[in-house]
Structures are given as structure tokens and as C-alpha cells.
Amino acid sequence: MALRPVRMQKVGLLGLRDEEERILTLLHDLRIAQVEPLSPEAMAELAPERGTETSRRVGDEALRFRGLLSALPPTGAAPPRRFDSLADVLAAAQTVPIDAEVGELKREDDRLLTEEKGVRDTLDLLDKLAFYPDRLEYLRSANFLSFYGEAKPEALSELRSLLPGAADAQVIPGPSDDETSRFLLILRPVGADALSRTAQSHGIHLTTIPPLSGTTREEREAVSQRLSTIAARRAEITARLQEIAAQWYPTVVSIAEALEIENRKSEVLAKLGAGRSTFALEAWVPARDVPRLESIVQQATQGRVYFYVVSTTEEPPTIMGNPRGVRRFEFFIRFYSLPQATEWDPTLIFSIVFPVFFGLMLGDWGYGLTILLICIWMIRGFPGARHLPRVGRNFVKLIMGPKGMQQLAWALVPGCLIAIALGFVFDEFFGVHVLHLLFGLPTIADPLSARNVGLLLKIAGFFGLGMVTLGFALGALKEYFHHHRRGAIGKVGGIAFAWGIAFFGLQVIEFHKLPPPFDLTTDLSVVGLAVGIALLVSGEGVFGILGLIDIVSHILSYTRLVGILLASVVLALVINDIAVLLWHGLGPIVGILLAAIVIVGGQAFNVIIGVFEPGIQGARLIFVEHFSKYYSGNGKPFRPFGAPRTHTLSSVNAEGTAVATPFVQDPTS
């Protein structure tokens, strides 16, 4: 478990132009190199690599096959296909003759889909116009306009009063209720502007009557027949596309993937340099993978590639190399800011401290068990979520997507377990000392007793002292490794001042007066304060003096751990007490019913608070009071060149060696 991101190395390679395609394919399939623009020093000896006519042809073919994939329904998977060269890919693309038929079928289907929507809208309008007994052709004239409308009754009355008399408006009422008036409106074109303004301002929905001739019943039969004809033809098109896909889809999908790979390789060419017979590229690679990369490329080219290390002061991209369990907490770090490749990765610290803070602030095994079960439900993919109210589901989606919710659930599980354990210590179960009531067991540590509150505050203070000290220690090491000696001195001064003020505060609390009796502890506190202030001023100047208040406030800020715990316990007690009063005060039936509502609703509300408050405040204590001592963030994510293959075979064997079959260079490139 390292506290640093994966160490990166910028490397370059110089190879023969004839092997450029082969090497780029290997880099793509390895996916361990982020190709960068060639450095000015190297580019001074070379010219920019430029795309060829073949590259443009690859782009056109890739676009063509994307269209085929979007039109053809997916069929059963076929074994991955190997392409030994770009020439093989382009040759295979020319053997696919289905463009014209697939394109014609797809265009016809799109046209029918548009028509189908219009026909369905017309059918819906005819159902609404069933109250009109005459032929619809009577509503079509150059001298007047016809609309079907729906509005609130008061809005319809307002519409009638606002239309000018010259419009000669006629309203034919339809079936209505207290909420909605349905009507047919006929008026002269002179009233069109007034109608549009009024409808928009009063929320009146108007639909233009389409050019139909017969009665609503006659037209409905004709429109329904047209809808059936469209559905039948679309079914024929779908069946034919499925026949074509059964024969050609595996070929199309493999060629499409190969073309996308070649397209990505063409995009990388702009970052390369080229000579008459050589080319060069530079890339960021994890230092651990550099020997592997060099070995595979040298093996594939029979040693005809020159590798070199690029000396640079650029900030490398970041890979967070945490083990699986810790990796689940990277979600929080990325949410805050990605670490730079040359600073500490605080994911390990967060994975240890955040669950402790969350569990301490929750401190109830009833709430902890409830939230744990919710987390397990989220991790399992929200089974049965469709039965939840739509309002609740939409609210959750606004906060975070399903994947993010699962990541959050995994991170909350350890905190819930700690909350359950502390809940047994505090004997808190939804605010009730249930172990004492049921089994007569003594409560080990009631969080509301004055003695325990003081003890918990001291524990929270020591948490704060430890986190501030760790933050300053990591900050001092960071400054030292970056050769900022004065910054390192200032961070050490922060540690000395933090411990000095802590010892001083403990003495004041112990003796309840200023100044406390002088003894060893007092001497250490005075020495710590003096040394801390001197080092802070020496390292950071005036800003060091301003930082003294921050150090005190940051340590004291951790007392909110206890404040949130006590607030949760008190709120649970209030909910329970109100329920008991209702039970005893309103009789056995009404009282029990209202008490149950208060218990369920109130405790559910407290569970929600038990997720948000400990989660937000626990993360805040780490982000603000701890990270501010050493963490900069704003790292650049590592984006390796390449993508997984699904329908084509990789140029790298499972054993980690290059495929023996050589790539043949396209003679037209």
C-alpha cells in the first residue's frame, strides 16, 4: 500500500518507418503508453508526421461501417478475427456489398417511423374529436382556421373575451370536466395573432385540424388501416435487416473495430516526428511497465528500435495504484481532485479515517444496520427499485448515477460496521437502550452523560491533533522532496505549535484556570508554542502568523464528531418521547397509529440525516482540515493510447509477447 501515485517515466523510441504501423498497433494493444507531442529537441532533427491518402480512406471506411452497425440488428458473436495489416483491413472492407440495400431499407424505415408518429397523432386527435358529428372537410377553408383545444374552464372564458369581434370566433364544446374544457374553435385569420398570444399566456393547448374529409369515424378507420400498413412494412424491413445481419454482422463488426483502431492510430500520427526512413514518438509510461514495453517492441522488430529516457520537468499524468479494497475510496479523492503524480495519494488515509469518523458520528447500531442493508441493496444493483415512487427515484438520480451510488455504498460499508460496534458500546438502538431494557445489561458508555461527553470531546480533540500532525508531516516531506526547505521548516513548526497548543489546552481544562501550575507538561507546551511560532515565521513569514489561528480552529473542528453524534442521539430520543406521549395521551387506537407514524417517519428522517451528516462532515474534516496541509490536487489523468479489443485479435499474446506474424506495410501509404 503506497501513499504515492504510480511512478511515471517519459520515454521515447526511434524506429524505422516501415515498422511504424506495427509499433503503433503494439502500443494500442498494450494500453500502457500515453503518447505525447514530440519534444522540441527531437522535433528539431525531424519533421512532423503527416497523414496520407490511406489515412483519409480509413476515416471514410470507418464512417461507412459505423452506419452499417447502427442499421443492422446485433446477432450472435463470432470468433475474433485477425488482421495482419492495414491493407488486410481495407481489403476486407471492400468485400462487404450490403451498403446500398441496407441504406435504402434504413431510409425507408426512418420515413415510415416519422409517418407512423404523425398517423398516431392524427388517430389520437380523431378520438378527441369524436364529439364533432359533421364531415371534417367542412372545417377546411381559406376563409377560416380550425383548432382543437384543451384548457381550464376559466382560461377558455378568458379566451372568448379577448378574441376580437372581427374574428367571428365559434366554439363547439366537447366532453369536459371540472379541470379541463375540450372544444373545437373556428375563427377568421384576422384573430390568429390574438389567439396565439392568449393561448401562450393562459396555458391553452391548441392543435390544428389536419386536412381530412370524412367524418371522424370514417377517417379513423382509414387512418387505422394506414397504421396497420406501416406496421406491416416496418416488420418486413426488420425481418430483411435481420436476414442481412445473420450473414454479415460478424464480418461488419470485426472490420468496424479494426477500422476504429486504425483511425485512432491515424490521430496519433500528428504527435510523431518523421525522417526519410525513420520515425520517433515519446510517451508517458508507468515506470514499472517500461522494461515490458521495451522487451515486446524489441522482440517484434528484431531489435531495430532505439529506446531512450526523456528528461523533462513536465508534470506527469497520474495513475492511482491502490489495492482493491482501498481503490473503492478513490471515488471520494477524484470527486475532490485527482492527485498530481509527484505528490502524496491520500486514498489510503481516507480509507482508514473516513469509516472511523462516519461510524463515530452515527454511533447507533439500529441506524448502522439499516444503512448497511441499504448499501447492500445498492451494491447488488437496486433490485426491485422499479416499485419505488418515481419522485424518489428521480431525486436520487439527480444526486448521483447508479455506478456512483454503488461506489458510495461500498465506501459506507466499513463505517456502518464501526457504527454498529459503537452502537453496542453506547447501547443505542434508534435512541433506545435496548440491551439494558431487554437483558438488564449495564450501558458501558452513555454518550449523553456529562462524564462521557467530556471524554468523547477529548478523544475528538486527539483525533484532530493526530490528523493535523499527519497532514503537516506529509506536507513537510513533500516540501523536502521538492527542495523547498523553508516550506518544510514551516510545516515542522506547524506540528510543534499544534502539540504545544494541545498540551496548553489540556492543562487549562484540567486545572480550570490561567495560567496552570508550571510542571513538565506546561514546560513542554510553552516550548512547543515558542518553537512552533519561530519555525512558522522562519519558514512562511507573515503567513505563518496567520496560520496559527487555522491550526487551532482545525484541531477544534474535529469536535464536531461528537456534536453530530449527540445531535443524532437527542433527535432519536425526541422522536421516541413524542411517540410515547401520543400513545398514552390519545388512547390505544389513535395513539398507537399516530405513534407508529411518528416513529417510522421520524426515524426514517434520522436515517437520512445519518447518511448525509456523517458522510459530508466526515469527508469535509479530511478535505479541509487535513488535505490543506499537503494536498494540491489538479492532477492530469493518465489516458493511455488504445482500447480493448472485442471482435479482433490483439497483436500481443496472452504470454505478453508480440504475435509472430509480421505486419505488411500498405504500399499505398
CA dist 85 and 20 (Å) reads: 12
3-state secondary structure of 265: helix
For residue 35, what is the domain's CATH number? 3.30.70.240
Question: Residue 662 belongs to what domain range?
Answer: 1-49+272-319+638-669
Residue 612 lies in a domain: no
CB 172 within 8 A of CB 186: yes
pLDDT at residue 504, as a whole number: 82
In a domain, 5, yes or no: yes
Q: What's residue 55's pLDDT?
A: 84
Give the mean pLDDT of 142-158: 91
Q: Is residue 10 part of a domain?
A: yes
Paired strand residues for 147: 185, 208
Q: Which residues contact 339 (CB under 8 A, 6 or more apart)?
A: 5, 318, 320, 333, 345, 346, 631, 632, 633, 635
- Three state DSSP letters for 135-183: CHHHHCECCEEEEEEEECHHHHHHHHHHCCHHHCCEEEECCCCCCCEEE
pLDDT (mean) for 144-156: 92
DSSP structural state of residue 81: B
Cα distance between residue 547 and residue 234, in whole Å: 72
Closest CA to 430 of 476, 471, 370: 370
How much is the average pLDDT of 555-583? 91
Q: What is the dihedral of CA 182, 188, 191, 192, to 10 degrees?
A: 70
Q: Is residue 11 part of a domain?
A: yes
Residue 598 is assigned to a structural domain of this protein? no
Alpha-carbon distance of 77 to 250, in angstroms, equals: 7
Label residue 140 by pLDDT band (50, 70, 90). confident
Cβ neighbour number for residue 186 with a 10 Å cutoff: 18
CB 511 within 8 A of CB 557: no
- Cell numbers for 535, please give them: 519555525
- Domain-located, residue 354: no
Percent of the chain clearing pLDDT 90 (strictly above): 60
Query: What grid cell was written down for 366?
Result: 439500529
Which residues contact residue 274 at a Cβ distance below 8 angstroms, ignoring those fewer than 6 apart? Answer: 17, 46, 47, 48, 49, 50, 280
Per-residue model confidence as pLDDT tens digits over 219-257: 999 999 999 999 999 999 999 999 999 999 999 999 999
- 132: helix, coil or strand? coil
**Does the structure show a pLDDT above 80 at 448?**
no
Tally Cβ neighbours within 10 Å of residue 468: 27
Q: How many domains does the chain have?
A: 1
Between 525 and 266, the higher pLDDT residue: 266
Report whether 317 contacts 284 (CB < 8 A). Answer: yes
Q: Which residue has the higher pLDDT, 313 or 2?
A: 313
Helix (H, G, I), strand (E, B) or coil at 550: helix
Higher pLDDT, 198 or 509: 198
Q: Take residue 173 and report the three cell numbers written for it.
A: 364544446
Write out the three cell numbers for 569: 442521539
Cβ–Cβ under 8 Å, residues 31 and 638 = no
652 band by pLDDT with thresholds 50, 70 and 90: confident
Cβ within 8 Å of residue 109, ≥6 positions away: 234, 237, 238
pLDDT digits (tens, 9 = 90+) for 68-119: 999 999 987 788 999 988 899 999 999 999 999 999 999 999 999 999 999 9
Considering only CA atoms, give the Rg of the chain. 37
* Residues 89, 60 contacting (CB under 8 angstroms): no
pLDDT exceeds cutoff 50 at 667: no
Record the pTM. Answer: 0.78
More confident residue, 653 or 500: 500
Q: Which amino acid is at 23?
A: I
Is 74 exposed, middle or buried (CB count within 10 Å of its CB: 0-12, 13-18, 19+)? exposed
Residue 102 inside a domain? The answer is no
Interatomic CA distance for residues 506 and 504, integer angstroms? 5
Q: For residue 384, give the 3-state DSSP assignment.
A: coil
In a domain, 190, yes or no: no
Chain Cα centroid distance, residue 197:
43
CA distances from 669 to 13, 257, 666 (A): 21, 20, 6
Helix 520-540 × helix 542-557 angle, to 10°: 130
Q: In the prediction, which pLDDT does 666 show? A: 44
pLDDT at 584: 79
Query: Who contacts 396 (Cβ-Cβ below 8 Å, separation ≥6)?
Result: 405
Reduced to 3 DSSP states, what percent helix, strand and coil does the chain have, rounded to the nearest 5? 65, 10, 25
Average pLDDT over residues 623-644: 93
| pLDDT given at position 659 | 74
